Amino acid sequence: MVYIRDKEKKPKFASMSPAFQFPNQPLADRMRPVTLEDYIGQEHLVGPNAVIRKMVLSGSLSSFILWGPPGVGKTTLAAIISKQLDRPFYGLSAIQSGVKDVRETIEKAKKNQFFNQPNPVLFIDEIHRFSKSQQDSLLGAVEQGIVTLIGATTENPSFEVISPLLSRCQVYILNSLSKEDLESLLLRALEKDPYLKKLKISILENKAMLQYSGGDARKLLNTLEVVVKSESSDENFSLEQVIEITDAMVTDRLQENMAIYDKNGEMHYDIISAFIKSVRGSDPDAAVYWLARMLAGGEDIKFIARRLVILASEDIGLANPNALLMATNCFQAVNMIGMPESRIILSETTIYLAASPKSNSAYAAINEALQTVQKTGNLAVPLHLRNAPTSLMKDLGYGENYQYAHNYKDHFVRENYIPENLETPQFYQPGENPREEEMRARLDKMWKEMKNYGKK
């Protein structure tokens, strides 16, 4: 039975012709690739001569963690690797599994071990949601080679995965799918899906579908399926009828089927992006609104607090150094207190950061310095800046002619602190705010002949 729209009458139900019935299995699952050749995106990992493809071709698989946004193929890639290497595959979801499930799976893997047979793959989705005790229960099996662990996470594993486990795994970053990748997925779905290829579908515009997907393959295919189902559900629909998909049609259908905030991925990145941009844009009201959306949706409060720490240094920085102190204290307090009281702490910090003056000078300086390091390589440290703990080093000139700043007026002396072959750089450019204007005046006075800290 399908819901039929009628502008003049109340909604009614009608039987759909079997030719137009879609299966219960979602399109995204039907289109899940089973080989690396069918896998779209992540060329830096699975393309020719890329690290994961090399592992698969060599048959030598080590434990690793796949870190990336939802819908980019983490689970699919793990399954493909296991299948192509002909290894048993055990999958657990950190949301639904406990220590007991982990231990039972490891015991099952032990029993299925055969002499000289490669160890099975243990795939753990959302591994960042495992507690310390759950992660500890994996260590022995990974160390002993009972299983090869493949974890998947949407969060930075450095924050959520315990150090002993992280040290035994490589971390590979997956990127949101590009426009070309998403268009390839659409074309493949229309050509290969046994249900869609029965229909005459013409995508006249795809901008709305690509925007709503946000680089997420699952959201893209779900959107396509929602639109096609809505257009083919009319009782008078015929297989000869062409479904022409436009941006307006997609927007209309998605508004009718809009999902609520999903802390496991669907709107996670959209909401946190709006939150960050509201704080950066100095709008405390908008920032608190998006904070409320996240809290109401059950978002991890530690994730929100971490973003505030990053915001404090990246977007406020030296314009108000107290912002980083407050954000750091917020993170510590949230860890101690928990909900529901942490909502107040997060709100206080969010408002303070949004209302603070902004500067990204520290962020820009380190990025420019890293680019210079990448271009120039490991240049030698000047001899006068080197430490000289032994007499041999002193004889070689280490530390010779170094000028100790505190021995001079105002605790400053013009000295060369960079490699000799590097042209005098100026990575830091003070922002236009009261605190950095003071720093600008002082630096300009000290380095006037060598650098220009004055306003450009």
Residues 128 and 229 in one domain: no
Residues 441 and 414 in one domain: yes
Q: What angle do CA 357, 359, 360 make, to 5 degrees?
A: 155
Domain end residue (candidates: 153, 173, 193): 173
Identity of residue 333: A
Interacting residues of 30 by C-beta distance below 8 A, sequence separation 6+: 23, 193, 194, 195
CATH of the domain at 332: 1.20.272.10
Q: Is the pLDDT of residue 269 over 80?
A: no
Interacting residues of 355 by C-beta distance below 8 A, sequence separation 6+: 282, 284
CATH of the domain at 192: 1.10.8.60
Q: Is the pLDDT of residue 35 over 50?
A: yes
CATH of the domain at 381: 1.10.3710
Residues 326 and 386 in one domain: no
Identity of residue 75: T
CATH of the domain at 104: 3.40.50.300
> What is the arithmetic mean of pLDDT over 150-154?
90
> What is the arithmetic mean of pLDDT over 316-345?
92
Residues 138 and 242 in one domain: no
To the nearest whole percent, how much of the chain has pLDDT over 90?
26
Interacting residues of 260 by C-beta distance below 8 A, sequence separation 6+: 267, 297
CA distances (Å), origin 254, targets 226, 250, 260:
8, 6, 12
CA distances (Å), origin 260, targets 36, 198, 297:
33, 32, 8
Cis peptide bond N-terminal to 340, omega within 30: yes
Give the confidence band of 428 by pLDDT, cuts at 50, 70, 90: confident
The span from the CA of 107 to the CA of 89, in Å, is: 14
> What is the arithmetic mean of pLDDT over 263-268?
57
Residues 204 and 298 in one domain: no
Predicted local distance difference test score (pLDDT) of residue 345: 95
Ramachandran region of residue 171, left (φ > 0), alpha (ψ -120 to 50) or beta? Answer: beta
> What is the arithmetic mean of pLDDT over 252-280?
71
Give 355-422 as a DSSP string: HS----HHHHHHHHHHHHHHHH-SPPPPGGGS---SHHHHHTTTTTT---GGGSGGG------S-TTS
Predicted local distance difference test score (pLDDT) of residue 319: 92
Predicted local distance difference test score (pLDDT) of residue 11: 37
Residue 28 in domain = no
Residues 192 and 151 in one domain: no
Helix, strand, coil shares of the chain, percent, nearest 5, are 50, 10, 40
Residues 319 and 422 in one domain: no
Residue 9 in domain = no
Q: Are strands 121-125 and 64-67 parallel, antiparallel or unpaired?
A: unpaired
> What is the arithmetic mean of pLDDT over 67-83?
90
- Which of 124-128, 251-255, 330-334 shows the highest mean pLDDT? 330-334
Give the confidence band of 352 by pLDDT, cuts at 50, 70, 90: very high
Residues 111 and 186 in one domain: no
Q: Is the pLDDT of residue 263 over 80?
A: no
Residue 22 in domain = no
pLDDT (tens digit, 9 = 90+) per residue, 359-373?
A: 998 998 888 888 888
Predicted local distance difference test score (pLDDT) of residue 13: 35
Residue 14 in domain = no
Residues 169 and 192 in one domain: no
> What is the arithmetic mean of pLDDT over 183-212?
88
Phi, psi of 224 (to 5 degrees): -55, -45
Predicted local distance difference test score (pLDDT) of residue 280: 93
Length of the chain (residues): 456
Domain end residue (candidates: 201, 234, 256): 256
Q: Closest by alpha carbon to 170, among 150, 156, 147?
A: 150
Residues 119, 45 contacting (CB under 8 angstroms): no
Strands (E) across 174-263 are located at: 200-203, 242-245
Residue 427 in domain = yes
Predicted local distance difference test score (pLDDT) of residue 19: 46
pLDDT (tens digit, 9 = 90+) per residue, 3-33?
A: 333 334 333 333 344 445 666 788 888 999 9
> What is the arithmetic mean of pLDDT over 249-269?
64
Domain that holds residue 190: 178-256
Residues 168 and 185 in one domain: no
Q: Closest by alpha carbon to 314, among 365, 366, 363?
A: 363
Residue 184 in domain = yes
Residues 159 and 57 in one domain: yes
The span from the CA of 369 to the CA of 358, in Å, is: 21
pLDDT (tens digit, 9 = 90+) per residue, 201-233?
A: 889 999 888 888 878 888 899 889 888 888 877
Sheet order of strands, 121-125 included: 89-93, 121-125, 148-153, 64-67, 170-173
Around 391, how many Cα atoms within 13 Å sit in the side-chain half-sphere? Answer: 0
Q: Is the pLDDT of residue 256 over 70?
A: no
> What is the arithmetic mean of pLDDT over 272-290?
91
Q: Is the pLDDT of residue 439 over 70?
A: yes
Q: Is the pLDDT of residue 288 over 90?
A: yes
Ramachandran region of residue 423, left (φ > 0), alpha (ψ -120 to 50) or beta? Answer: beta
Interacting residues of 17 by C-beta distance below 8 A, sequence separation 6+: none
Mean pLDDT of the chain: 83
Phi, psi of 264 (to 5 degrees): -85, 0
Domain end residue (candidates: 324, 355, 386): 355
> What is the arithmetic mean of pLDDT over 68-91?
89
Residue 455 in domain = no
Residue 8 in domain = no
Identity of residue 388: A
Q: Is the pLDDT of residue 175 over 60?
A: yes
Number of domains in the chain: 4
Residues 150 and 135 in one domain: yes
Predicted local distance difference test score (pLDDT) of residue 8: 40
Q: Kindly report the pTM of this predicted structure.
A: 0.59
